Amino acid sequence: MAKTQDRQTKEALEAAARKSDTHTYVLRLYVAGITPRSQEAIRNVKALCEEHLAGRYDLEVIDIYQQPVLAKGEQIIAAPTLIKKLPLPLRRLIGNMADKDKVLVGLDLRAK
């Protein structure tokens, strides 16, 4: 019985990995102006995307000062904020994006 469960668990994990490798990630990064903190967040997110999602992501960077309507529509209360629109579930990460593990977990690219 235990071998059957182990095999089923392994097969489920492999299927989930294959499925996640085919999804295109739709991300929005909200920043507040062209400050050093905003630039660092942009660099960090782009580097993580290139490393873990090369060719499978669409990253839109939105300056909340330039496009306040978009920020209001997403109810952005702090910047930088990264929103993973797709694949579902929707996720929000707030902060400088320097903690790579936190960002990877938030994007469902690494287990908690």
Is residue 15 scored above 80 in pLDDT? no
Q: How many residues does the chain have?
A: 112
pLDDT at residue 18, rounded to an integer = 47
Q: Could you read off the pLDDT of 80-101 as tens digits, one per residue?
A: 999 999 999 999 999 989 999 9
- What value does the mean pLDDT take over residues 56-80? 95
Domains and CATH numbers, the chain: 24-106 (3.40.30.10)
> Higher confidence at residue 1 or residue 97?
97
Is residue 47 scored above 90 in pLDDT? yes
Question: In the β-sheet with 57-63, what is the strand arrangement from edge to edge?
Answer: 57-63, 25-31, 81-86, 91-94
Question: In the structure, how many helices (H) and strands (E) does the chain have?
Answer: 4, 4
How many angstroms separate the CA atoms of 63 and 108, rounded?
25
